[in-house]
Structure 1
């Protein structure tokens, strides 16, 4: 009886050896890929948490520097954020904050560089849209109207479309292209909520270009039909 069991066990062992010889390498590689994927995912989650915590600490330092109006420290911390944690939202937000203070201090070149970095390297479309609109303001201030129109040529998330149209209207109006400016202002006017103060500002711009507000409202009602 024992001999019979030994023979059966030997047969099973031989079959297992044959199976492993034939498929063992493939199975091993599949397991390696699966386990490596799990390890990478866990590692990535840990990396994200660690990166976010460290980036948050640097961003807090940047805010303190902004309150203190320490331009040199802002520039230094901003560079650290971008170099070490460029893939985090804190890096983009930090560059926005730095750009604001640099602009207030009259350093528009550095502010432009900070905003351009957000536009090119940022991962959040909303933050990139904010950077784009702020960059347009600097370009308008510098009378770089063609550059401003180029900045506005890229699509933005829906919630920023009215603001982008308004800014485009500003650029076109400054270029003396009143008819084209009216088209953009109308877009902004129709997209903005009736209760927002910003809509009244766009309304005033339309009035300044000889467009009757009631006419603009009528156009809006016609578009809704």
Structure 2
């Protein structure tokens, strides 16, 4: 009986050897690929967390510089952030904050550069939209009306379309095109929710042009 079992075990061992000789290399490479992928995934997650932490630290530096109105430090920090951590949300948020602070410090060109970076490079479409609205405001201020309208032509998330219409109204009003301005303000007013505080500002603009918002109809398409 023992001898029979020994023969059976030997046969099984021979089968295993034959199987491994035929498929061993394939199995080894599959295991290497699986464990390699796991290591790469863990490494990627670690790298992502590391990048986010470093970007967060730079964003805090921008915030501190903004509170101190240190325009030069803000510019250095945001340029470093957009260079080293361009793919993070912190980079776009930092550039937006830098744009705001640089503008308030009288560095309009620096503000424009920061906002342009966000409008073109940010991964978040909402942050891109905010940057474009602010760029259009700078264009109006510098009387670059055609550029402002061109900036606002770029599609934005639906929630930003009323704000884009309002900004186009500002452009037309600055050009003395009151009818076009009314059309844009009306479209913005209709598209904004009744509880939205910004709607009240649009209502004031309409009133200054002789339009009573209470006479306007319901929701309408935002025209470009």
Query: Normalised by the size of structure 2, how large is the TM-score?
Result: 0.86
Q: Deviations 1:89-135 (Å, cap 9, x if unpaired)? A: 21111111111111112221111111111122212222222112111
State the shift of 1:141 in Å. 1.2
Q: Secondary structure at the match of 2:194?
A: coil
1:42 partnered with 2:42: yes
Question: In 2 relative to 1, CA 10–146 (structure 1 residues): closer, same or farther, beyond 3 Å?
Answer: farther
Correspondence for 1:125: 125
Correspondence for 1:113: 113
Correspondence for 1:214: 214
Q: Give 4+ residue runs of structure 1 displaced > 6 Å after superposition.
A: none
**1-structure distance, mates of 2:14, 2:48:** 48
1:74 partnered with 2:107: no
Query: Normalised by the size of structure 1, how large is the TM-score?
Result: 0.86
**1-structure distance, mates of 2:128, 2:192:** 20
Correspondence for 2:94: 94
Q: Deviations 1:19-66 (Å, cap 9, x if unpaired)? A: 233333333333333222222222222222222222222211111111
Cα RMSD (Å): 2.3
Correspondence for 1:30: 30
Correspondence for 2:18: 18
Q: Paired residues, what number?
A: 221
**What residue ranges of structure 1 are gaps of 5+ in the alignment?**
none
Correspondence for 1:194: 194
**2-structure distance, mates of 1:29, 1:119:** 45
**2-structure distance, mates of 1:19, 1:115:** 63
Higher deviation after alignment, 175-184 or 91-100: 175-184
**2-structure distance, mates of 1:164, 1:189:** 12
Question: In 2 relative to 1, CA 18–187 (structure 1 residues): closer, same or farther, beyond 3 Å?
Answer: farther
Q: Secondary structure at the match of 1:220?
A: coil
Q: Secondary structure at the match of 1:61?
A: helix
Question: In 2 relative to 1, CA 108–9 (structure 1 residues): closer, same or farther, beyond 3 Å?
Answer: same
**What residue ranges of structure 2 are gaps of 5+ in the alignment?**
none
